[in-house]
A and B are shown apart, each in its own frame.
Chain A
Amino acid sequence: MASCWWRWRRGCSWRPAARSPGPGSLGRAGLSGLRAAAAAASRAQMSYFNLVKSLTSAFPNMYSISRFHHVTPAVCCCSRTRSGEKYTDPFNLGWRDLKGLYEDIRKELFISTTELKDMCEYYFDGKGKAFRPIIVVLMARACNIHHNNSRNVQASQRAIALIAEMIHTASLVHDDVIDDASSRRGKHTVNKIWGEKKAVLAGDLILSAASIALARIGNTTVVSILTQVIEDLVRGEFLQLGSKENENERFAHYLEKTFKKTASLIANSCKAVSVLGCPDPVVHEIAYQYGKNVGLAFQLIDDVLDFTSCSDRMGKPTSADLKLGLATGPVLFACQQFPEMNAMIMRRFSSPGDVDRARQYVLQSDGVQQTTYLAQRYCREAVREISKLRPSPERDALIQLSEIVLTRDK
């Protein structure tokens, strides 16, 4: 009986949203267009660039928006009116469930050796953005409210937030050794302080602690979902090793790598908390799609910031991707305008002066704007997905968070 009632309530709360000819509808039409076009493109082997180009010309007003001053007020006000709750910073809202996050993570690392413990705890110092845990707990609450108006976060859902941050950190530690990076979050990397040998073990150890915590949740579906992340992270790293000669393949390759290395973790941990909070597979898919799209946008903006931000703000050196020989979104777009970049991409910016020249080309081109525009598309898609959930402060915080992803400058 009760569940019937809820379903009815949910149905009611959805329908007006779906019908409302709000400001989102243009974007919605545009996105379904994008999807159809993408499907057609994949069938007809159409260029990804042409696709994005045609979209950019279809929305010239969006295209002109500068990244740093960009706002999409439409989404904000619509979410505020719908929930009727007053504005709260998503990070503040999320942190309410994450108090003691880093202490709790450190408790999961039951290690006897002091030095090893220091290494493993090094990045759990409370100075990270905790972007992933915030999304995860907000999603947990949004799903719980959607499902049965529950105002609680389950312990298992909070555990997913910890595990997501742990898996992320483990991969950072390994990535830094692979890339021979020397600074992150404004401090030295683990490998620079303790050496590569120990850093790799520290990464493995954090991963094993995350796996133990994951197993203790006792849900085989959730284990499978997050295991997928570990596999994706490794495969993403492998994708990064190789490069494609064909330009269209190159862009698809870049997006696949971006999904595996960044978006998969966010998408799958969102899915995991939705599975724990709500039995409806439709909700699981919403959570997954939101996480995936926000994750892709997050990384695209990260790639943009590698060109536009200064190293002091980022806490890590900029043009880092170029120095590693990686051609990210802005480079791939710039290459459309400056075909002479092709050779540089193929030799992975290894000749003297390549990095600086490529950087100049990118800044002269509209690569940064195009990449930002693509990130905006992903965020719109994320908002469109999450808007299918019944209104709640947390749902609206997730909508806001997708805005923050676009406008962040570090």
Chain B
Amino acid sequence: MSLRQLLLRLPCYLGASGPRRGPLDTISSVVSWRGQSSRSPAHWNQVVSEAEKIVGYPTSFMSLRCLLSDELSNIAMQVRKLVGTQHPLLTTARGLVHDSQNNLQLRGLVVLLISKAAGPSSVNASCQSYDMVSGIYSCQRSLAEITELIHTALLVHRGIVNLDELQSSDGPLKDMQFGNKIAILSGDFLLANACNGLALLQNTKVVELLASALMDLVQGVYHENSTSAKENHITDDIGILTWKKQTFLSHGALLAKSCQAAMELAKHDAEVQDMAFQYGKHMAMSHKINSDLQPFIKEKTSDSLTFNLNSAPVVLHQEFLGRDLWIKQIREAQRKGRLDYAKLRETISAGKGVTSAIDLCRYHGNKALEALESFPPSEARTALENIVFAVTRFS
């Protein structure tokens, strides 16, 4: 919806909008429908497109407003100047466009589904029931939109580059500086739109929830950035507990708090709010672990494929092995100062890290399903369950 469509204007400026491995399309081959024969693999896309039908129309007025704004066409014009440089904003924009083709906007979709699954509350809601389309209040639709806006804003902001660390291959300094400028402005523009949308919801508790989600997200991104920056350290000495805490900030908090806020908008009580929070949190965690696992479980993995050394299987592997042995293994996998990822992947796959990451993924999946049990059975609830099945099933 909004951002993707609005950034749809970009690809013509960006040249090839070639395929980029997003975290989601890696999942596609391992999904099965519940209730269907487990031998007929259904695709993640199918789970999602079924879910999208349940929540009715996917667009909202807010996206339309963004789309028509001068600022955005301004951005689109400016981004063209970055073509040929290595500025991350290009990749981000490309990714948004690419996802739009797959119709994926997971966070917003989950917020809509859980809104529908919870239904209207017995208490008089702040939203009017005549505002309901496909069993979802219009304020909840706005919230879903805001969730996506915040997520995308941070996606754009995490792609700022440090000017004094530039390589000559990145492109001229002036262009990179300009890329930063545009990235900050467009991120800020998205955040301002999110703030505006939040204010229109006329519910300060929701504003507080989403503002604190933004704070969590920023801190999570900060951790991510600072770990990936330390090239020579190769890996952080963090245990799985720290990993979980940081991953909650960077991946779970926004979805968890948005789900909770969706309940608050329909005036559901604290208990329902907590269940929605739990679903959002655990679903996001298992989703993240699933994408972390992809390099290790895909049958055909190209040898050159790199993976994050702070991903769940690696952190668990290190925890089983002990820090010293792990450092030794990294040294052994180094060739001429470069890390041989294929070799390291083999080493890790031989250990217990991968299987316990799968266990952890399932643990969070089960927690998410447990949280759903408090919602009455409905097609929306089934769709939410299917999303969990999609991310916890490993062939």
Contact = CB atoms under 8 A, between A and B. Distances in A.
Nearest to B164: A195
Nearest to B185: A237
Interface in A178-226: 178, 180, 195-198, 200-201, 204-205, 207-209, 211-212, 214-220, 223-224
Contacts of A2: none
B228 to A, nearest CB: 10
Contact of A215 (B177, B205, B223): B205
A178 B160 CA distance: 11
A62 interface: no
Nearest to B205: A215
Contacts of A219: 204
A174 B208 CA distance: 23
A238 interface: yes
Contacts of B199: 220, 223-224, 227
A233 B184 CA distance: 13
Contacts of B164: 195
A238 B77 CA distance: 13
Contacts of A351: none
B160 A174 contact: no
Contacts of A211: 195, 198, 207-208, 211, 214
- Bin chain A's interface residue count: 35 or more
B374 interface: no
Contacts of A242: 74
A298 to B, nearest CB: 22
A205 B215 contact: yes
Interface string B188-223: 110111011011101111011001101100110111
A217 B196 CA distance: 17
Given A174-B184, A215-B211, A116 B162 contact: no
A234 interface: yes
A195 B222 contact: no
Q: Mostly helix, strand, loop or mixed at chain A's interface?
A: helix
Contacts of A111: 219
A201 B218 CA distance: 6
Contact of A234 (B177, B181, B189, B212): B189
B192 A196 contact: no
Contact of B162 (A180, A196, A212, A241): A196
B215 A212 contact: yes
Interface string A228-263: 001101110110011000000000000000000000
Nearest to B197: A227
A212 B198 CA distance: 12
B236 interface: no
A177 interface: yes
B187 A180 contact: no
Contact of B225 (A197, A214, A227): A197
Nearest to B245: A112
A3 interface: no
B24 interface: no
A238 B185 contact: yes
A257 to B, nearest CB: 13
A57 interface: no
A113 interface: yes
- Bin chain B's interface residue count: 35 or more
A205 B180 contact: no
Contacts of A212: 208, 211-212, 215
Interface string B53-77: 0000000000000000011001000
B267 to A, nearest CB: 15
Nearest to B209: A215
B379 to A, nearest CB: 34
Contacts of A234: 71, 185, 188-189, 191-192
Interface string B78-91: 10000000000000
B211 A113 contact: no
Interface string A6-46: 00000000000000000000000000000000000000000
Contacts of B270: none
A230 B222 contact: no
Given A180-B177, A224-B199, A233-B192, A209 B215 contact: yes
Nearest to A173: B184
Given A215-B208, A224-B199, A227-B195, A196 B163 contact: yes
A-B interface, 3 closest residue pairs, ranked by CB to CB distance from nearest: A211-B211, A215-B208, A215-B207
13 contacts: A112-B219, A115-B226, A197-B229, A201-B157, A201-B158, A204-B157, A211-B195, A215-B208, A227-B198, A230-B192, A231-B195, A234-B191, A242-B74
Interface of B: 70-71, 74, 78, 154, 157-158, 160-165, 177, 180-181, 184-185, 187-189, 191-193, 195-196, 198-200, 202-205, 207-208, 211-212, 214-215, 218-219, 221-223, 225-226, 229
Given A200-B187, A207-B214, 10 more contacts: A178-B184, A178-B185, A196-B163, A201-B158, A205-B215, A212-B208, A216-B204, A227-B195, A230-B192, A231-B195
